[in-house]
Amino acid sequence: MLIRSTGRTLQMARNRSLKSLDLTKSVNNSVNVSAGDTASLIYLWNPWTIITCVGSCTSPIENLMVVIMLHGACSRLAPLAAFGYVMATHLSLYPAILILPVALLLGYGPDTPPTKVFLQKGLSANKIDMSDNGKGTSQKGFGQFSWKPILHFILWVFIWSCYVLSLNSIILNKVGGLQEMFEKTYGFILTVKDLSPNIGVLWYFFAEVFDFFRSFFLIVFNMNIIFMVLPLAIRLKHRPCFLAFVYTAIVAMLKSYPSAGDSALYLGLLGLFANELAEMQFTFFLFFGYIGVSLLSPVMHNLWIWRVSLSLYLYLYLYLSLSLSTHTCCVLLLT
């Protein structure tokens, strides 16, 4: 329900942006595609979501907090967005990078065209009619950044953080306190101590790397996600919800202990951009590529873990599984 509501908010913001650019024909043509309904159906009937629920995992709780955060940010409800952000970061460290999309959602709104589009449109309008001031006033409202929701968000993040840490300190007072909690949770995630097989690639890499280089590669892999944050935020500051989707997809691929629930979340959020997907190229290849990788997952797990058969097909499967998500983000960035 939250994903559906977020999709409707994004669609209304997209229609307002198109109307502000006098693209009413595009608005009328895109009414038939409901991004909220599409995203909610993709998340509900996604095989990864079903597998996560059947396995009784806690990933849906983390996904719920991320969706609450995005819903609150799209609706510009600072307390709700702060609660989702604090809880998502508390349950898993990686949603902390979503602070930039949330700030942009609260400051600019769900969907704002780039400033250069309004400048180009304003120049062309001035050439036609220099005395038309009505359009200029309607265009100025779209590009302005509001700091008031950001300050409310920071205040509520501080309040929720103090509340959560206080509860944790009371509960864990007899077993080590907050320091022990941080070492066993965030420290465990960052140091990759457990090398049990999972659907990620870091466990295999650190099982093969020499101990002398372990600290160096820990820094490299952990900083790899952070290095992508700022360039993507500069490129997609006018599409903050899509920026949150890109961050979620990157985290699902590069986090130390990924799960099927991470893939279910970003594939569900992909449906929020149904209008953009309708004009995207290579849709057939991407759709059946995801299906093929999902169907081959149990077979490749058996070959890799139990039969220890590192064949050419296994390397091809790993390449496809990592490149499909990256290719989807790149194609959407170009469109």
Same domain, 200 and 183: yes
Mean per-residue pLDDT over the chain, rounded: 78
Report yes or no on 122 lying in a domain.
no
Same domain, 296 and 157: no
Count the neighbouring beta carbons within 10 Å of the beta carbon of residue 105: 28
Same domain, 63 and 204: yes
Tokens 């959020």 belong to which residue? 269
Same domain, 301 and 261: no
Give the list of residues 6+ apart from residue 319 with CB closer than 8 angstroms, or none: none
Q: Is the pLDDT of residue 88 over 90?
A: yes
Q: Of all residues in the chain, what percent carry a pLDDT higher than 70?
A: 73
Tokens 């990620």 belong to which residue? 200
Query: Pick from 236, 264, 279: which residue ends a domain?
Result: 279
73 in Cβ contact with 105 (< 8 Å): yes
Segment 169-193, tens digit of pLDDT: 888 888 878 888 888 889 888 888 8
Residues making up the chain, counted from first to last: 335
Residues 237, 117, 70: CA angle, nearest 5 degrees: 30
Report yes or no on 134 lying in a domain.
no
Segment 107-122, tens digit of pLDDT: 887 866 555 555 555 5
104 in Cβ contact with 118 (< 8 Å): no
Q: Shortest CA distance to 264 belongs to which of 94, 112, 50, 101? A: 50
202 in Cβ contact with 256 (< 8 Å): yes
Query: Pick from 240, 258, 279: which residue ends a domain?
Result: 279
> Rounded distance, CA 234 to CA 249, Å?
18
> Rounded distance, CA 314 to CA 211, Å?
26
The total domain count for the chain is 2
> Rounded distance, CA 95 to CA 85, Å?
7
Segment 187-237, tens digit of pLDDT: 888 888 888 877 777 877 888 888 888 888 888 888 888 888 888 888 888
Report yes or no on 306 lying in a domain.
yes
For 236, which DSSP code? T
Q: Shortest CA distance to 265 belongs to which of 94, 31, 81? A: 94
Classified as helix, coil or strand, 9 is: helix
Tokens 């050419």 belong to which residue? 312
Report yes or no on 27 lying in a domain.
no
Segment 262-312, tens digit of pLDDT: 888 988 888 888 777 766 676 777 777 777 777 777 776 676 666 655 554
Classified as helix, coil or strand, 211 is: helix
pLDDT at 64: 93
Report yes or no on 138 lying in a domain.
no
Same domain, 39 and 82: yes
Report yes or no on 140 lying in a domain.
no
Q: Is the pLDDT of residue 25 over 80?
A: no
Tokens 């036609």 belong to which residue? 128
> Rounded distance, CA 35 to CA 278, Å?
11
Q: Is the pLDDT of residue 163 over 90?
A: yes
Report yes or no on 249 lying in a domain.
yes
pLDDT at 319: 54
Same domain, 216 and 326: no
At residue 138 the predicted structure's pLDDT band, cuts being 50, 70 and 90, is very low
Same domain, 91 and 208: yes
In the chain, DSSP finds a helix count (H) and a strand count (E) of 20, 0
Same domain, 174 and 301: no
pLDDT at 136: 43
Domain extent, residue 46, equals 1-22+34-115+145-279
Report yes or no on 245 lying in a domain.
yes
Average pLDDT estimate for 304-323? 57
Count the neighbouring beta carbons within 10 Å of the beta carbon of residue 265: 29
Same domain, 303 and 216: no
Count the neighbouring beta carbons within 10 Å of the beta carbon of residue 160: 18
> Rounded distance, CA 70 to CA 105, Å?
8
Tokens for 231, please give them: 């360039």
Of 51-55, 196-200, 324-328, the poorest mean pLDDT is in: 324-328
At residue 21 the predicted structure's pLDDT band, cuts being 50, 70 and 90, is low
Same domain, 321 and 211: no
> Rounded distance, CA 177 to CA 181, Å?
7
Query: Pick from 235, 256, 279: which residue ends a domain?
Result: 279
The pTM assigned to this predicted structure is 0.81
Same domain, 78 and 199: yes
Same domain, 91 and 165: yes
> Rounded distance, CA 206 to CA 201, Å?
9
